Amino acid sequence: MKPEPGPGGPPDVLVVGGGIGGLSSAFALARQGLRVRVLERAKEFGEVGAGLQIAPNCTRILAEYGLLDEAKSLGVLPRNMVMRDALDSRELTRLDLADLERRYGFPYMVIHRSDLHGIFLRACERAGVELLTDRNVTGYENTGEGARVLLADGTAEEAPLVVAADGLHSVARRALVGDDVVSSDYVAYRAAVPIDRVRGNGVAERDVTVYVGPRCHFVQYALRGGEMFNQVAVFESPKALAGEADWGTPDELDAAFEATCDTVRKGIPLMWRDRWWQMLDRDPIDTWVHGRVALLGDAAHPPLQYMAQGAIMAIEDGWVLARHLARRAAAAPAGSAPDWDAALAAYQAVRVEHCRRVQTTARAWGELWHLDGTPRLQRNVLLRARDTYDYSFTEWVYGPTALTPDELPPMFTPIPLSSAAVGDVAEEVGRG
């Protein structure tokens, strides 16, 4: 079935999913003169959640899109990112975020997820993207001239390119790859509350603070110009480890943070208790492009959240795909379509490796944060030894987004826990 033409004719691209990944990629593609139609399953566009951290590799793209000033007006530019031990609250290491902006040319920002989503929704409306809700996509097919999506109501739509940005539980991923999500046995609770409710809790209003503890961590930062305060509590669920179906429950939340410092314990009663997020990812895969259907965002590379790069990777995906389509369009004869297949191959060639790095590093970072016993003490020693202005661990991710494999920067060199000096570890034991 041929798609009904929109205001500008039939679409060049169908984007399945109206989250941050779907809308940001739709906007990126529309900026290149493509006719884009977004199919969202829900009855209206929106995002559920609380805060997001947006690093320079993303604010750089927002600036190019002309959206950074709007994002700044809705978010917060924190002064520092500080990591502390969740048990004794002592500082382990920090990033000076003003210096980080000088180094990378763009700021580190925190923003409410719904605010960033709204920015892209309004940008899509201005760009003429066709935004359709209540469209439940149940299947995908390649055609002779592109790809087709099948909808639950029995209809179908097609276009030269279909972008599946349908999230962690992607229908496209299930149909085209068939793998399962991977449970970390950790769960996240979130809350965004008026800042007056936390001012007596010893919080740092101008910093992003991460308290790392045995099998748990706690994140805090201000939102919406400092009027709200975001908190995230993450812990390993004993019920998940025992194989129980109902895991990550509020009683486990309270037990997980009983031994933490005052600031963390005071924050726990403020967490939303009617919903929680089991922390799931998937193993990295090498193939995101199946004919003219391309996976994007969490459908392609859902990470654990420890690097705060999930939404950013999706935004980068759309930027890279749009740039490669623009290059192929510029090389095509006047009036002809871009080389869709070449653009998709170029997209996959660079994004798969970068996102694999983020996914695997996020898993390792989570393990590092949640250490106990001697490994925790060794970690603390090594983090305290890091210079505030050492960027060797951020160069590979906060720099400009690579368009080709040769632009991918080298990875950092991990420091083994065993390299912590024995005397320093003994001193750390004494502090405890």
Which residues, including other chains, have CB under 8 Å from residue 354's CB and lie 6 or more apart?
Answer: 313, 316, 402, 408
Percentage of the chain exceeding pLDDT 90: 93
pLDDT of residue 5: 52
Model confidence over 251-299: pLDDT tens digits?
A: 999 999 999 999 999 999 999 999 999 999 999 999 999 999 999 999 9
Number of neighbouring beta carbons within 10 Å of residue 216:
23
pLDDT grade for 65, boundaries at 50, 70 and 90:
very high
pLDDT of residue 346: 98
Name the pTM for this structure.
Answer: 0.96
pLDDT grade for 9, boundaries at 50, 70 and 90:
confident
Model confidence over 97-112: pLDDT tens digits?
A: 999 999 999 999 999 9
Give dist(CA 40, CA 22) in Å, integer: 9
**Strand, helix or coil for residue 355:** helix
Indicate if the alpha-carbon torsion angle 48, 51, 56, 59 is positive or negative: positive
pLDDT of residue 8: 62
From the candidates 140, 221, 347, 398, give the one annotated as an active-site residue: 221
Q: How far is CA 179 from the centre of its chain?
A: 20
Structure tokens at 251: 């009683």
pLDDT of residue 312: 98
Model confidence over 18-59: pLDDT tens digits?
A: 999 999 999 999 999 999 999 999 999 988 778 999 999 999
Percentage of the chain exceeding pLDDT 70: 97
**Strand, helix or coil for residue 7:** coil
Structure tokens at 27: 């906007």
Structure tokens at 58: 């993303």
pLDDT of residue 1: 39
Evaluate whether 7 touches 128 at the Cβ level (below 8 Å). Answer: yes
Q: Are strands 130-132 and 36-39 parallel, antiparallel or unpaired?
A: parallel
221 catalytic per annotation: yes
pLDDT grade for 432, boundaries at 50, 70 and 90:
low
Number of H helices, E strands in the chain: 14, 18
- Residues 194-223, mean pLDDT to the nearest whole number: 97
Query: Interhelix angle for 310-331 vs 340-369, to 10°?
Result: 160
pLDDT of residue 421: 85
Structure tokens at 101: 């902006």
DSSP string spanning 46-108?
-----EEEE-HHHHHHHHHTT-HHHHHHHSB--SEEEEEETTT--EEEEEEHHHHHHHHSS--
- Residues 59-86, mean pLDDT to the nearest whole number: 98
pLDDT grade for 6, boundaries at 50, 70 and 90:
low
Residue 126 has pLDDT above 90, yes or no: yes
Task: Report how far apart, in Å, the C-alpha atoms of 258 and of each of 77, 82, 251, 360 are.
Answer: 31, 22, 11, 30
Model confidence over 133-154: pLDDT tens digits?
A: 999 999 999 999 999 999 999 9
User: Bridge-partner residues for 306, per DSSP?
Assistant: none
Structure tokens at 216: 């748990």
pLDDT grade for 7, boundaries at 50, 70 and 90:
low
pLDDT of residue 155: 97
Q: Which amino acid is at 91?
A: E
pLDDT of residue 428: 73
Evaluate whether 129 touches 92 at the Cβ level (below 8 Å). Answer: no
